[in-house]
Amino acid sequence: MPPLHEPHRPALRDKSFLLMLALVTLAFGWILLPFYGAVLWGTATAIVFKPLHRELLRRFRQRATLAALATVLLILLLVMLPLAVVSVSLTQEAAALFAMIKSGEFSLTLYLQQIYAVLPSWVLQILDRLGVADPALLQQRLAGTLSQVGQAAAGKALGIGQDTFDLVVGFFVMLYLLFFLLRDGDRLSILMRNALPMPEAYKTQLGEKFRAVIRATVKGNIAVAALQGALGGVAFWVLDVHAPVLWAVVMAFLSLLPAVGAGLIWLPLALYLLATGDIGAGLGLIAYGVLVIGLVDNLLRPLLVGKDIKMPDYLVLISTLGGMAVFGINGFVIGPLIAAMFIAVWDIVASERPVASDSNKGEQSPQD
């Protein structure tokens, strides 16, 4: 007579259970895919603002729901609202600049001719070899690019409403998730940690690396980029540069890229001022860019990022660019995160190899 009950086997040794585990995990990831950006930013924001939540939790006498709600409201007031104001100004200035270029009121040819007139001959030869020595040709290429952008924007005009709806839905999903991650994040972290089938030391090392990269990327890089962009915007406003908010945002965006930095914006402007005879403004902008904007990066970034994440600048640059090429704007977080976890996993492998080799030698020595 067959046994009434099948003997119990550990779940992780049951192939059918492992197959089911893989399938339901992939299916869960599939249904979350449309909101992966909301999940990413909700998780990252929860990690960055966890110290604020803990302080509010202490002040509210361990009322978790009230502390999480207060944290979300503060994030909306201090972060989201200023971003919305800057976004509106950015849209207005970008539209105005586009109209000026299209109408010919803004002539890139004139500006380039003024700069080329003071360049040494050997620089002009290099530009000629690169095919960028003709200002009129550059103006024509820029106009063609803008025309293509305009046509693409017109072609997608019917989808603007749907894109806006998706953005709004994703934003509220992010806030909703942020609230629960702040309130229940510690418990969820323990559950996920216990579920991972790997040694405790590996969980600790990988978990610390994950949190360090998120804090470094979001808290450090974004804060430094925002401050550099704001400082650049002030300089552009003082110098009466057209669309200062637009150029400030572009500078902040470029500041996210290590080894590239905000100098790609303020340095050409300073060179243009020098080329057009405004020596005082040009030298002043160079001094301001080096001593103020550059000093922010050199002093504030190590303070905010800390020493938890150690990756070469070239690896951070490549992983950031590659991440943004694959995942869009979310890639500047995902790219360095994947690179850091890649290094952490291979560090574990490398640290285990000598131990394994020594043990093998020890096992072989009695036979010798």
Residues 338-356: tens digit of each pLDDT: 888 888 788 777 777 654 4
| Rounded distance between C-alpha atoms, residue 290 and residue 267, angstroms | 10
Same domain, 171 and 39: yes
Looking at the 3D structure of the chain, how many domains does it have? 2
Q: 354 in a domain, yes or no?
A: no
Same domain, 215 and 128: no
Range in 153-162, 214-223, 300-309, 349-358 the model is least confident about: 153-162
Report the percentage of the chain scoring pLDDT > 90.
4
| Rounded distance between C-alpha atoms, residue 266 and residue 233, angstroms | 10
Same domain, 107 and 207: no
Same domain, 100 and 243: no
Last residue of a domain, one of 192, 212, 243: 192
Report for 92-96, 125-129, 181-185: range of highest mean pLDDT: 181-185
Q: 28 in a domain, yes or no?
A: no
Q: 16 in a domain, yes or no?
A: no
Neighbours of 285 (CB within 10 A): 26
Report the percentage of the chain scoring pLDDT > 70.
72
| 277: Cα within 13 Å, side-chain hemisphere | 2
Name the residue among 259, 260, 254, 328 with its Cα closest to residue 36: 328
What pLDDT score was predicted for residue 158? 45
Same domain, 57 and 181: yes
What pLDDT score was predicted for residue 74? 92
Give SS3 for 123.
Answer: helix
Q: 8 in a domain, yes or no?
A: no
Report for 4-8, 96-100, 157-161, 209-213: range of highest mean pLDDT: 209-213
Same domain, 151 and 284: no
What pLDDT score was predicted for residue 66? 92
Contact indicator for 315, 239 with CB cutoff of 8 Å: no
Last residue of a domain, one of 173, 192, 211: 192
Q: 324 in a domain, yes or no?
A: yes
Instruction: Encode pLDDT of 217-269 as tens digits.
Output: 777 777 888 888 888 888 888 888 877 888 888 888 887 765 567 777 888 88
Instruction: Encode pLDDT of 17-52 as tens digits.
Output: 778 888 888 898 898 888 888 888 888 888 888 888
What pLDDT score was predicted for residue 259? 54
Q: 52 in a domain, yes or no?
A: yes
Q: What is the residue range of 219's domain?
A: 200-349
Same domain, 188 and 300: no
Same domain, 206 and 324: yes
Name the residue among 367, 49, 303, 341 with its Cα closest to residue 207: 341
At 167, the amino acid letter reads: L
| Rounded distance between C-alpha atoms, residue 58 and residue 52, angstroms | 10
The model's pTM: 0.67
Q: 17 in a domain, yes or no?
A: no
Please, what's the b/e burial string for 294-332 (b: 16 or more CB within 10 A of its CB; e: otherwise)?
bebbeeebeebbeeebebeeeebbebbebbbeebeebbb
Instruction: Encode pLDDT of 54-78 as tens digits.
Output: 999 888 888 888 999 999 999 999 8
Same domain, 179 and 60: yes
Same domain, 296 and 275: yes
What pLDDT score was predicted for residue 138? 64
Q: 25 in a domain, yes or no?
A: no
Q: Which residues 6+ apart lie within 8 Å of 131 measured at CB? A: 137
Last residue of a domain, one of 192, 210, 241: 192
Residue with tokens 């600048």: 313
Same domain, 345 and 302: yes
